[in-house]
Amino acid sequence: MPLNVQKVKWGHMLRAAPARFAPTVRDSGSIADEVFAAWVLGPAARVPVLSTRPGLQAVLFDLDGVLVDTAEFHFRAWKRLADELGIAFDRQINHAFRGVGRMECLDKLLGQHAATFVSQEKQLLADRKNAHYLELVRTLTPRDVAAGARGLAMGLRAMSDGGVRLAVVSASRNARLVLTLLGITDWFDACVDGSEVTRGKPDPQGFLLAAERLRVRPEQCVVIEDADAGLKAASAAGMKCIGIGGGVTAACDTRAGAIGEVTVESLERLVLSAPLRSHS
């Protein structure tokens, strides 16, 4: 069934979300407070000194599909919105959404109809998709952290020379909430999410901002990504990159089936095997 633009625009699809989509008291209050307290008052509040570590200085993790399998949640949320709009949507179409910001994904979903919506209408649809996504996200617990991720993060932290700095760089605006629900906020020195960049992946802005916050050299960073857009962004930032999973087709320095296959030694070798490059 094709999208009925007149039915959708400022009609029943764009009215205030029904009660099942509305935030609960805990969502709007205590969860927000928990995220603020855990992040602003935690490790991310520290401003690190410039790293002088030879070789690997930082590892930048994508979130969805790398540290946790919330990529499935995004697919289900977009599929639900597409069904409500009468737009065809499947996993093949969803592949182009991986690692891409919410508003850009919405334009992809609306296709030829995107130009007929004003920004306020698009925002309402994006918010509706986010409400669908958050229904699923709220089920996350520390048990949902990807196998092997904890060991890798702790191994990087425990290196005898002071360790390697860690950050999350995600297109998701819910990244900090997800980290809090997973109980892994304190693994990271910085987080850059979709609300903090004006140009999403494959633009390198997010990765370069993370390197700036960590005070490390981009060429001494390794990015771990599961999406082509993220791998292209890492390369554009002058960083080494590892492609996770079987769905990536973009060029990367090495590949792994899952984060559990990545080792501290393999990350170090990626940087030490290449001469340092200047980055303007």
Catalytic residue list: 62, 64
> 61: which strand partners?
168, 224
| Longest pairwise C-alpha distance within the chain | 63
CA distance 271 to 241: 10
